[in-house]
């Protein structure tokens, strides 16, 4: 039973110590560095520190997904690093005020949490029902 595994391992051109390249790893690290730098520029105080941004955004995302146990464990670490608790509260309030998030597009939650982390006072978007004209296209005079 070990012979086929050994044959497969020897048939490749890669050296035994080589690891396959991770194409997205460098891109995600670069984008994460940019997000941390952006937060440091836009957020005053410790909430702009990379460790606070990293943990805080995760806490807010976990709260949104109702994973409270994991959120509270992350929140303990967030507090241990001296990160400001009120920024979590303001960010979560911002995320909630903007309404539902498409569950089929998880990046929309990540983007909203990031935007709210940078500016928790982001205005709530107007409701579509108030801005939508009456159906039928007719008006009464």
Query: What is the per-residue pLDDT for 7?
Result: 47
Question: Per mean pLDDT, which of 1-5, 95-99, 129-133 is the most reliable?
Answer: 95-99
Residue 81 contacts residue 47 (beta carbons within 8 Å): no
Residue 132: pLDDT above 80? no
pLDDT at 129: 47
Domain regions of the chain by residue span: 35-123
Position 43 pLDDT exceeds 70: yes
Q: What angle do CA 103, 60, 44 make, to 5 degrees?
A: 130
Please give the residue that has the higher pLDDT: either 31 or 79. 79
């Amino acid at each position: 039973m070990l012979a086929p595994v050994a044959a497969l391992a020897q048939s490749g051109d890669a050296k035994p110590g080589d690891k396959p390249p991770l194409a997205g790893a460098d891109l995600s690290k670069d984008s994460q560095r940019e997000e941390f730098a952006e937060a440091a520029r836009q957020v005053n105080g410790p909430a702009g520190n990379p460790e606070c941004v990293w943990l805080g955004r995760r806490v807010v995302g976990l709260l949104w997904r109702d994973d409270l146990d994991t959120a509270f464990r992350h929140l303990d670490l967030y507090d241990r690093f001296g990160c400001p608790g009120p920024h979590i509260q303001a960010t979560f309030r911002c995320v909630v005020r903007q309404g539902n998030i498409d569950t089929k597009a998880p990046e929309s939650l990540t983007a909203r949490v990031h935007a709210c982390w940078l500016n928790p006072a982001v205005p709530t978007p107007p409701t579509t029902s108030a801005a939508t004209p009456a159906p039928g296209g007719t008006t009464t005079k």
